[in-house]
Amino acid sequence: MRVIAHLQARADTAYDNTYHHKLRGRIWNALDGTEYDEIHDEDRPKGFTYSNPFPPGDMREGDQRTLLVASPHEELLANVAADLKDDRELNIGEMPFHVDSVNGLATDVGEPGTSGTIETGTGVLVRIPPWRFEEYGIDTDHDEAEFWRPEHTMEPFRNQIENNLDKKHDLFCPDYLPGPSKTDGDLFDGADLIKTFSIPVTVTQGQRETWVLSKWRFDYTVRDDHHRRHLNLALDTGIGERNSLGFGFVNITEKEDQRSGRRERVDA
């Protein structure tokens, strides 16, 4: 489930690639006083993620941008939507917007037999814990979690993504249904790395770190209802870590129902 907000720039503005902390603050403010406010300080996936204001790039006053917020919790999204409607001024760091409209948006990878492509709209954060360095043949001069990079190969990336989605499945899906690691087959048919990059990230107020992120294009074919649930969970919660900072947000960009041969481009 998603909320889609159409934004209008209120001034000529340079695009701020370090928007994450400011936008997260607005969403937590929207959840203040709700049952979701209680998870703010818990060390667990928060159950929401969001896109960047897209398309990225410097803006002139009046330019249009779009923001998506995703979650498996309909009520959480309702609170975010209500906040954006009540206060139409949205300041994301140095980027001032007016919220023109807010609507709900359903997303689904499709019924079993559907093939498609999912792309990461924001960077994916994957960190390899030090107790797995030897298993993956990683030789480092530190004992802190290692940011995933291409030289570490795909195995640790796939394992960390699946382990993370397992944790979200335990939190947000019924107990009696199997998570990704308890079913046969991979989450994705294939993965194309678009790029890796590093950016400064304000983790908490006054704490800024440089993180290594990656952008991907994943192909999938829905095997069964369990696989469909796992892929839709990735759409609702993001993949990888720190999704409540906006990392790991994914979109379906194309899907095809193999039974009907119908192919469609998907914008969100």
pLDDT digits (tens, 9 = 90+) for 166-206: 999 999 999 999 999 999 999 999 999 999 999 999 888 78
The 10s digit of each residue's pLDDT in 224-238 is 999 999 999 999 999
Cα end-to-end span (Å), the chain: 11
pLDDT digits (tens, 9 = 90+) for 34-65: 989 888 888 889 999 999 999 999 999 999 99
What's the pLDDT band for 150 if we cut at 50, 70, 90?
Answer: very high
Task: Specify the CATH number for the domain of residue 7.
Answer: 3.30.70.1890
Are residues 185 and 247 located together in one domain of the fold?
A: yes
Which structural domain, as residue segments, surrounds residue 76? 2-105
- Is residue 187 domain-shared with residue 258, that is, in the same domain? yes
Whether 32 is catalytic: no
* Cis before 55? omega within 30: yes
Same domain, residue pair 100 and 195: no
Total domain count for the chain?
Answer: 2
Contact 58, 14 (CB under 8 A): yes
Q: Which of 105, 135, 161 is the last residue of a domain?
A: 105
pLDDT digits 0-9 by tens, 111-137: 999 999 999 989 999 999 999 999 999
Q: Catalytic one among 16, 41, 189, 257?
A: 41
The DSSP symbol for 124 reads B
171, 43 Cβ separation under 8 angstroms: no
On whether both 66 and 150 belong to a single domain, the answer is no
Residue holding tokens 């192909």? 219
Q: Are residues 245 and 184 in the same domain?
A: yes
Q: Which of 105, 123, 151 is the last residue of a domain?
A: 105
**Quick one: average pLDDT of 242-263?**
84
Which residue type sits at 135?
Answer: E
Instruction: State which of 59, 77, 105 marks the end of a domain.
Output: 105
Which residues, at least 6 apart from 264, have a Cβ–Cβ distance to it below 8 Å? 254, 255, 256
Report how far residue 116's alpha carbon sits from residue 110's, in angstroms, rounded to the nearest whole number. Answer: 9
pLDDT of 79: 96
Judge if 73 and 138 occupy the same domain. no
Question: 53: helix, coil or strand?
Answer: coil
CATH number assigned to the domain comprising residue 144: 3.30.70.1900
